[in-house]
Amino acid sequence: MGIEDIIQELPYSKPFLFVDKILEVDDDHIKGTYTFLKDEYFYEGHFKDNPVTPGVILTECMAQIGMACFGIYLLKGEWDKTSFGVAMTSSDINFYHPVYPEEKVTVIATKEYFRFNKLKCKVAMYNTEDVLVAKGIVAGVAFKR
């Protein structure tokens, strides 16, 4: 499976897809990007007159790139989105800098372990100025439906 195929295999679609591009991936890490558009549904009520991306959405973006996309890649020939599902099993994320509408973020994840279809990764998110936005751990599992 090539880099260009990974996003197409995700079990998400707009408005809940938070991956634009996978920049690089190998058996130890993945790097991807997402730009938060100004008309994302969650900005409407997440701080009146001063929209900020909710931490839960930043966590989801890190999990989609660092766990779901990475897991699909690591499963290689086994993955089939019609017979597999993915689920985040845990996260521990610290937030350091806000993300505003129209900001592009880069997520880098490094594998802690991958066995029995369970993936645990260290994740970090940076803005376009290379400022650390958030970092932590995400874990998830691929399961047969």
Query: What is the distance, to the nearest Å, from the Cα of residue 120 to the centroid of all Cα atoms in its chain?
Result: 13
Helix (H) or strand (E) holding 74: helix 70-75
Return d(Cα 66, Cα 31) in angstroms, integer: 8
Q: Do 95 and 15 meet the contact criterion of CB atoms below 8 Å apart?
A: no
In terms of residue numbers, what domain contains 50? 3-144
What CATH number is given to the structural domain containing 65?
A: 3.10.129.10
Active site residue 29: no
> How many domains is the chain partitioned into structurally?
1
Enter the pTM of the model. 0.94
Of 46, 104, 118, 122, catalytic: 46
- Of 144, 125, 145, nearest to 133 (Cα)? 125
What are the tens digits of pLDDT across the range 91-144?
A: 999 999 999 999 999 999 999 999 998 999 999 999 999 999 999 999 999 887
